[in-house]
Structure 1
C-alpha cells in the first residue's frame, strides 16, 4: 500500500464530486494542505464560490491544514463582508458613488478579524458557516449547519448557531499528547503503515 497521490485532483476514480482541494484552488489567498478533501453534491468548484467576500485588496487569507474533511455547502465568510459600525448606521453609502463616495472609510477604519485558519484533521459538516478570523484547532469537528463565530479548541466537537462546545473528543492530557504527535506531518509511508493505529478505537496512541 502506498496511499493516493496527493497531487491527484479526483483521488477516487470515476467520482468527480470529491477532490483533493489544493489541486483545484485558483486564489492565491486560499492555502490548503495535502490530502484535505472537499465533497460537493454537485460541483467541487463550488468551494471557492462559497468563500464569500474574499477581496484581494483586503488581503486576508483562508488557510486550511492537512487531512481535513469538508462537506458540501460549507461557507467561509471573509473580512470583506464587514461593515463600519461606529456610526449611527452601518449602511455602506460609499459603494454606490454619485457623491456618496465622500464617506469612503479608510481600510484601517473597517473591522478586520485577520486570517481564517483551519487546523489539521478537522471535519466540517455540510452547510456549516465559518465567520471571519476564526481559528479552528487540530482534530476539531464542526457539526452540520453550525455557524462558527469564535475560535474552536483542538479536538473539540462544536454544534449549533452560534456554535457551542458539545464535548471534547479526548481528555485534556490525551489532547496534549496528540498535538505533540502531529501524525499529519509524518511521511505518507509512516501514515500508511499505521492506518490501524490512527483509525482504531484501541490505538496505542489513545
Structure 2
C-alpha cells in the first residue's frame, strides 16, 4: 500500500522509487514506546542495520523509571549510528571511587541518592539533523534547526540554527542571520497543521521566509 506524504501514523514512511518500503527508516514515535522518551511526530531515524529495539539502539542508557527524560522535537532527522547518552549513564563522581557498587547491591543506593537524583533531561529541539555517528552527551540542550556534522560530540547548550562539528562540537557557523532566526522561531512551522506544512514545502526548500510567513495559518 502506498505510504502517504507526511503520514505521521506510518512506522515506515519512506518508499523507494520502485514502491518498496524502506525498512531502515522509521518514524521513531511509532516504533518506540518508552515512559522516559518523548518524540514528536515526523521525527525519523535511519539505519543500514535496523534494530529490533530502536530505543536501545538510540538511547541505550535510558531505562524505564530513570530520574531523567529524553525529549526530541518534531521533524528531526537522525542518521545511522547516532547515540544519545542520557544522564543515567554517568557514574557517581563525588566520592573517591567511580565504581558503581550500588548496581550490584541495591541496598547501597542510599549512599549515592544525592548524586543520582534530579538528573538533567536531554532535549533535542525541532527540525534538528544529527549526522552519521553523532553522540549527544547527558543533559545536552540542542536548539531548533541545528545541523550536527558526522561524528560530532554534542554537549551543553547548542543555539538554534547553528551548524556544529567536532569533538567537542563547536559552532562552525549560524545558518541564518539573527533576525531571520527570530522570525523562524516565531513562526514555529513544525507545529502547523499538516496541510499547511505541505503547502509550505516550496518556501521551506527555497528558504523564502517572506513566502513562509504569508503561508502561516491565520
Alignment TM-score, normalising by the size of structure 2: 0.85
Q: Which residue, 35, 48, 69 being the options, matches 1:61?
A: 69
The alpha-carbon deviation at position 11 of structure 1 amounts to 1.1
Matched with 1:18 is: 25
Q: Which residue, 155, 160, 175 being the options, matches 2:161?
A: 155
Matched with 2:216 is: none
Q: Which moved more, 1:55-64 or 1:180-189?
A: 55-64
Residue deviations 1:40-91, cap 9 Å, x none? 1110545312312112242311111111100011101112111121222212
Preserved CA contact (<8 Å) 1:125 1:143? yes
Instruction: Structure 2: give runs of 5+ residues left out of the alignment.
Output: 214-218
Matched with 2:80 is: 72
The alpha-carbon deviation at position 5 of structure 1 amounts to 1.3
Distance 1:21 1:133 in 2: 20
Residue deviations 1:127-180, cap 9 Å, x none? 101011111101011111011121111000111111111111011111111100
Distance 1:29 1:102 in 2: 24
Preserved CA contact (<8 Å) 1:82 1:112? no
Residue deviations 1:77-131, cap 9 Å, x none? 112111121222212233334xx95575342223754111111110000110101
Structure 2 counterparts to residues 1-206 of structure 1, below 5 A? 3-13=5-15, 14=20, 15-43=22-50, 45=52, 47-50=54-57, 51-97=59-105, 102=108, 105-110=111-116, 113-204=119-210, 205=212
Alignment TM-score, normalising by the size of structure 1: 0.89
Secondary structure of the residue aligned to 2:158 is coil
Distance 1:93 1:170 in 2: 48
Preserved CA contact (<8 Å) 2:6 2:194? no
Preserved CA contact (<8 Å) 1:6 1:20? yes
**Displaced runs of 4+ in structure 1, greater than 6 A?**
none
Highest RCO, 1 vs 2 (Cα 8 Å, sep ≥ 6) = 1
- How many residue pairs are counted as aligned between the two chains? 203
Structure 1 residues 42 and 166: CA distance shift in structure 2, 3 A? same
Structure 1 residues 108 and 194: CA distance shift in structure 2, 3 A? same
